[in-house]
Amino acid sequence: MRSSNKIKVEGGMSSMTDLVFLLLIFFIIISTFVNTSHQIQLPDGSGDPSLTSPVKVYVNAENQFFINSNEEPIQVYNVEREIMNLIGENKAIELLADKETHRASAYEIIRIAKQNALKVVVKTKGGK
C-alpha cells in the first residue's frame, strides 16, 4: 500500500519578492529626504600653531640633540631648559631619533618629559 499524500515543502517566492520591493521603495523614499548640503560654521583659525604643536627633538647618529630644526646642536645638560622654554599648551615632545642613536639619549628625553609631566611621541622609521 502506497500513500499518495506526499507533503512537498516548498517556499513561496512571491512573498520574498514583495519584501524586496517594499524595502527598495522604502530606501528610495528615505534617500529623497536626505539633504547632503549642510551649512557648517567653521571656527576661525586664529590660534598660534606654535602653542599647540609639539616640540620636536631630533637625536642624530652622533647622539647630538637638535630642537625644532635648529642647525646648532644643543648640549645634553641644556636640553631640558630649551625644551621648557619652547613647550606650548600641548605639553608634548616629539622624539625623532636615528637608528644608530644610543638608547641612553632617547631615555634622557623620556626622563625629561616624565619629570616635567609632558607627553612623549616617539617616531621611528620601519626597517626591512
Q: Estimate the crossing angle of helix 103-115 against helix 79-86, to 10 degrees.
A: 50
Structural domain of 85: 50-123
Q: pLDDT, tens digit, for every residue of 67-124?
A: 887 788 888 888 888 888 888 777 888 888 888 888 888 899 889 889 988 888 887 6
Q: Domain count of the chain?
A: 1
Assess if residue 15 is contained within a domain. no
- The pLDDT value given to residue 125: 64
In a domain, 94, yes or no: yes
Question: Using CA atoms, how far apart are residues 83 and 1, in angstroms rounded to an integer?
Answer: 99
In this prediction, residue 46 has a pLDDT band, given cuts at 50, 70 and 90, of low
Ranges assigned E (strand) in the chain: 55-59, 65-67, 92-97, 119-123
Q: Does the reported pTM lie above 0.85?
A: no
The CATH number of the domain holding residue 114 is 3.30.420
Residue 106 domain flag: yes
In a domain, 9, yes or no: no
pLDDT digits (tens, 9 = 90+) for 5-34: 777 766 667 778 889 999 999 999 888 877
